[in-house]
Amino acid sequence: MQRILPALLALALAACVPAPANQSPEQRSQAATASACRSEADRVVTRQDRGQILREDERNARLGTETGSYGVRTQIDALGRQFRRDQITQDCIRQNPAR
């Protein structure tokens, strides 16, 4: 549930913001590249950490999200995954310049 809520919030906010009508083809290409890179980075990080994510979900369901030092550890692990996902995304964008 924790991962679904931010995604739903982001979709809701994206729906509220109208797309600029005056985007150039280059800007649309850059946006498409960035979106594809974010999607690929999400897939890579989720696949690499699937065991840890399942353990965190199970522990959170059993004990709650803020239980003792494990709650802090879970937050640190999530921030580490987010950092890795952002790094993979930036590397992908740099390697695939818009044309």
C-alpha 33/C-alpha 4 separation (Å) is 23
The answer to whether the beta carbons of residues 77 and 54 sit under 8 Å apart is: no
Across 34-40, average pLDDT: 93
The answer to whether the beta carbons of residues 44 and 92 sit under 8 Å apart is: no
Please provide the average confidence, as pLDDT, over all residues in the chain. 78
Q: Which percentage of the chain shows pLDDT scores above 70?
A: 69
The answer to whether the beta carbons of residues 30 and 97 sit under 8 Å apart is: no
Angle between helices 25-48 and 68-95 (to 10 degrees): 140
**Tens digit of each residue's pLDDT (9 = 90 or more) over 43-71:** 999 898 888 888 877 877 777 666 666 66
Q: Three-state DSSP class for 23?
A: coil
pTM of the predicted structure, to 2 decimals: 0.63
The answer to whether the beta carbons of residues 99 and 33 sit under 8 Å apart is: no
Look at residue 63 in the predicted model and tell me its pLDDT.
75
